[in-house]
Amino acid sequence: MSRRAATRCGVAAMLGILTVLPVRAGPFVVPVDSAQSTLSFQLCVAGRCDTDSSPVAGYSVIALDCVDDPTQITLYDFSFQLTDNLSWYLSWGFLGSLSATATGVGLLDAQPGLALGPTPVTAGQFTFTGVPSNATGLLTYHAVGVPCAALQGSGYPCDDTRDLADEGTQYGDMNGTVSSANRVVFLVSQIDRTTPLDPNNPGLGSLRVYGTVYGHAEVPRPLGDVDGDGDVDVTDLYWFGCCMAGPGLTIPPPNCTAYRFAGSDLDHDGDVDLVDFAALARQLDS
């Protein structure tokens, strides 16, 4: 029997007496890169529209089935806060005008901590459907003429300050891309949703939120996470067996990718042998 075959037999024998408990890695936070992230808010009333934009701060909380090569993504939470105030001015000429400002505006997950997904990642792209979100912030407006009459026709005053949190939960899709390089995850979220100002009178106007939110985070590889999915379990034992080559062999054997070989080399000495298996067993038994 060859040394490699004997080694695998030894692994099989030890697997028979090892109680395997998965070592789980939870979701991770991806901070928003405010320098690259912008959300625009288009306010439309009685046929007139104006748009203002702001950089975005905040975070997303996600989980991936495999950090090194994600094929599924789960969304647990997000918080996108505008760093600037917003202002709009809608004019009907001599027929009237509407001016409005918004402060403290944010877009929050309406069900933080509740998993949405997993959803497939295809060629780096994903889509979450029916994402629930709540808005925060105060909207103050003043209207005269045509917009004032339109607001009054729907039961709203011509001058008011509204708490956006009172508008209730809105649902929309969230598209984006996710990729990974050297355990750094890059997340791009595309936001585009439109909410009527008065659900009972859609013709009054709407508020559209759209833009792109960028973020990235380094996700350290847990010791013993051979397959790169963020936890240590029996699947890692399987791939460890595929990569186990014995002392001195630094080239991944057949059916063992380079990153799985690297994940199997727990003592970082350039090969995968019984010393690495002992370290993996300690992880599984912890």
* pLDDT tens, position by position, 169-188: 989 899 999 999 988 999 99
Q: Provide the sign of the torsion angle of the four alpha carbons 234, 236, 238, 240, taken in this order.
A: negative
If you search the block for the tokens 């595309």, which residue do you land on?
Answer: 190
The values of phi and psi at residue 15, to 5°, are: -60, -30
Q: Are 213 and 82 in contact, with CB atoms under 8 Å apart?
A: no
Residue 1 has pLDDT above 70, yes or no: no
User: What's the pLDDT score for residue 72?
Assistant: 93
Residue 220 has pLDDT above 90, yes or no: no
Residues 6+ apart with CB under 8 A from 163: 137, 138
User: What's the pLDDT score for residue 232?
Assistant: 83
Q: Per this entry, what is the length of the chain?
A: 286
- Across the range 98-107, mean pLDDT stands at 96
Query: Whole-angstrom Cα distance, residue 260 to residue 255?
Result: 10
Q: pTM above 0.95?
A: no
Return the domain boundaries, the chain. 3-24+222-285, 28-218
Beta-strand pair 170-181/96-109:
unpaired
Burial 81-107 (b: 16+ CB within 10 A, else e): bbeeebebebebeeebbbbbebeebbb
- Across the range 232-254, mean pLDDT stands at 84
The torsion angle over the Cα atoms of residues 122, 226, 253 and 184, rounded to 10 degrees, is 50
**Residue of 23, 73, 17, 63 whose CA lies nearest to 226:** 23
Mean pLDDT, rounded, of the chain: 87
Angle at which helix 3-17 crosses helix 274-285, to 10 degrees, equals 10
